[in-house]
Amino acid sequence: MTLTLADIFAARARIDGVAARTPLVPSPHATALHGDDVLLKLEIAQPIGAFKLRGAVNAVFALGDDVAGVTCCSTGNHGRGVAYAARARGIRAVICMSSRVPQVKIDGIKALGAEVRIGGKSQDEALAASRKLAEKEGFAEISPFDDPLVVAGQGTIGLEMLEDRPDLAAILVPLSGGGLAGGVALAAKAIKPDIKVIGISMDRGAAMKASVDAGHPVEVEEVASLADSLGGGIGLDNRVSFALCRDLLDDIVLVSEDEIYRAMQALYYEDRLVAEGASAVGIAALASGRLGDLGGPVATIISGRNVDMAVFTDIMCGKDVRLGDLTVTGRLYEGSTK
């Protein structure tokens, strides 16, 4: 299965009118940090509050009329996307989730009219449940990241960014299973081969980074993170997203929970955005100084806003946040320079 730029243009035509074309806006405080323009691609403006709607709509709308329904496993945003897409097409959706998923995301999916099944402690267990259901009931199973149609849908973000700012030198992409980074890198590099596309993950449980380093998909232990949407494995039988990330990403940079905490504060106090931890990793990486010279204007994808509001308000008030065995020490926001 080789994906091309044509698949991404086909995705754009298919999702038009259901998923939004989102704005790319300047971030003055991040621009000051970087020394050249920094732009934020606001996927939080999607009707489900996250970019995953693009891939989900592309996959669900490509199905034949005889499909019984759709199912998937999800840390939340993909489930919302599939639920929204299924409702838009008038078919049944059953979303399988692990018990780690925050309640706010479960509620969001139920509100979209989908059924939710909770089982297992990891994404991998939720995936197994979803596959079983697909087999038994003839549902189409839609992977959150490892499906060519999903990757092509996410890639439409890359098209829009380069249309709005053809002068971009680099794109920083929140990275988990790699559907987003793979699709964006494919689109961006097909249009502008010398653009840098850098994946950013949290430093605890970064499955794609470990897999690219090993040369094949590997399992990592899943631990709690402020970037909960970036948790989970890439699948040992990965078909699409691993090879794309291995071949197309210029680098994968890791950020700490502490850095994510500060970046979420910066996005709120400077840019006035409510962004989940996964959305803040690009800004965290810029602030860390770990990216080196990017050679010009840079954009990062503010990938979702579906954060647990109790955690979010704690962070904005400078309180400690407990993440399993780790406590992120709170600190009030005092400006974007450290």
> What's the CA angle centered on 202, arms 99 and 184, to 5 degrees?
100
Q: Would you count residue 181 as binding ligand PLP (CB under 6 A)?
A: yes
C-beta separation of 287 from 336 below 8 A: yes
Give the residue with the Cβ less far from ligand PLP, 108 or 179: 179
Quote the least distance from Cβ 238 to ligand PLP, whole Å.
12
Give the residue with the Cβ less far from ligand PLP, 265 or 306: 306
How far is the C-alpha of 154 from the C-alpha of 176, rounded, in Å?
Answer: 13
Closest C-alpha among 117, 180, 169, 176 to residue 299? 169
* Residues 81 to 140 in contact with ligand PLP, rule: CB under 6 A: none
One residue of 225, 229, 238, 265 binding ligand PLP per CB under 6 A: 229
Quote the least distance from Cβ 173 to ligand PLP, whole Å.
8
Catalytic positions: 52, 303
Quote the least distance from Cβ 304 to ligand PLP, whole Å.
3
Quote the least distance from Cβ 230 to ligand PLP, whole Å.
6
* Three-state secondary structure call for residue 33: helix
Give the residue with the Cβ less far from ligand PLP, 69 or 144: 144
Q: Would you count residue 177 as binding ligand PLP (CB under 6 A)?
A: yes
C-beta separation of 80 from 112 below 8 A: yes
* Residues 259 to 278 in contact with ligand PLP, rule: CB under 6 A: 276, 278
Round the CA-based radius of gyration of the chain to a whole number and report it. 18
> What's the CA angle centered on 113, arms 86 and 238, to 5 degrees?
50
Give the residue with the Cβ less far from ligand PLP, 177 or 217: 177
C-beta separation of 72 from 60 below 8 A: no
Residue type, 237: D
The two three-digit tokens of residue 198, written as one number: 């850098």
Q: Would you count residue 148 as binding ligand PLP (CB under 6 A)?
A: no
Residues at the interface with ligand PLP (CB under 6 A): 50, 52, 77, 144-145, 174-181, 229-230, 276, 278-279, 303-304
